[in-house]
Amino acid sequence: MSATSADFAPSPDGGRAGEGGSATPLLRVEALTKRYGPRIGCADVSFDLWPGEVLGIVGESGSGKTTLLNCVSGHLDPDEGRVLYDTRASGVQDVRLMSEPERRMLMRTDWAFVHQNARDGLRMTVSAGANVGERLMGVGARHYGRIRGQALDWLGKVEIAAERIDDRPAAFSGGMQQRLQIARNLVTGPRLVFMDEPTGGLDVSVQARLLDLIRGLVRELGLSAVIVTHDLAVVRLLADRLMVMKGGHVVETGLTDQVLDDPQHAYTQLLVSSVLQV
């Protein structure tokens, strides 16, 4: 925990944390509530996320899962509740009480957000290499050669050919754009990644490749992640733990395979039994 927030080298921590070694959660969400006028976005949601752990949030459209993700990740301001994060520089902090520059720095370095639509997470008018390099420059990198080198390295990690570095993402397929978005996000060595339907709208063959990639990166880099999806197959493969939401409330939580194989709540049972078998 000696690294400063400006330290953007990818974390060398290859081991799966959450091994019971750390005594405090990386992220603690307490009684988070967001209302849209009289309507509930999400209500009284609490959870802990431990280092190296992947939490899946499932539920149908309108269940509040994306609202929750946006509130936790600082994209929406919740009406009530706390978001506590164990920062590298100064320990546990309430993210909502941090100053704006501090929070921005956190979101640019130690956190990452992978949008469902890659266009929301990429700059479509600059090259692939610049998309990756920009986040590095945002945290102070200035040496062009080194930035380009790191960008190339990350393009390789997400299986984008080096010769595409100067192409604009608009010329990429949907799956490539999504992989580029992941590279752009992970280049600063974040410890916590938020993902909103990361495989939504992609062909199944492309989905499989992306899932494999995300799983490998999560393990190699020891990342913690919160993944929102309506796809139960995705969470079964990626998430350690599951939260099921309905009408803004968490109706069930537990070990992913336990929730899917022995669901306790009526809504989860309906959700699981509604999946089409291939």
Supply 175's token pair. Answer: 């799956």
The nearer residue to other proteins, 184 or 241, going by C-beta atoms, is 241
- The DSSP H or E segment spanning 155 is helix 144-157
Minimum CB separation of residue 60 from other proteins in Å reads: 15
Minimum CB separation of residue 15 from other proteins in Å reads: 5
Q: Which residues make up the interface to other proteins (CB under 8 A)?
A: 15-16, 18-20, 50, 53, 208-209, 211-212, 215, 219, 236-237, 240-241, 254-255, 257-258, 261-262, 264-266, 269-270, 273
Minimum CB separation of residue 247 from other proteins in Å reads: 16
Residue 67: Cβ-neighbour burial (10 angstroms; 0-12, 13-18, 19+): buried
**Of 49, 70, 50, 66, the residue nearest 58 (C-alpha):** 66
The nearer residue to other proteins, 96 or 236, going by C-beta atoms, is 236
- 101 three-state secondary structure: helix
Minimum CB separation of residue 175 from other proteins in Å reads: 13
The nearer residue to other proteins, 130 or 182, going by C-beta atoms, is 182
Torsion of CA 182, 183, 187, 190, to 10 degrees: 10
Structural contact between residues 209 and 129, judged by C-beta atoms closer than 8 angstroms: no
The nearer residue to other proteins, 94 or 261, going by C-beta atoms, is 261
Minimum CB separation of residue 94 from other proteins in Å reads: 23
Determine the residue type at 142.
R
Q: Is the dihedral of CA 111, 114, 115, 118 positive or negative?
A: positive
The nearer residue to other proteins, 173 or 269, going by C-beta atoms, is 269
Minimum CB separation of residue 242 from other proteins in Å reads: 9
Radius of gyration of the chain (CA): 18
The nearer residue to other proteins, 138 or 254, going by C-beta atoms, is 254
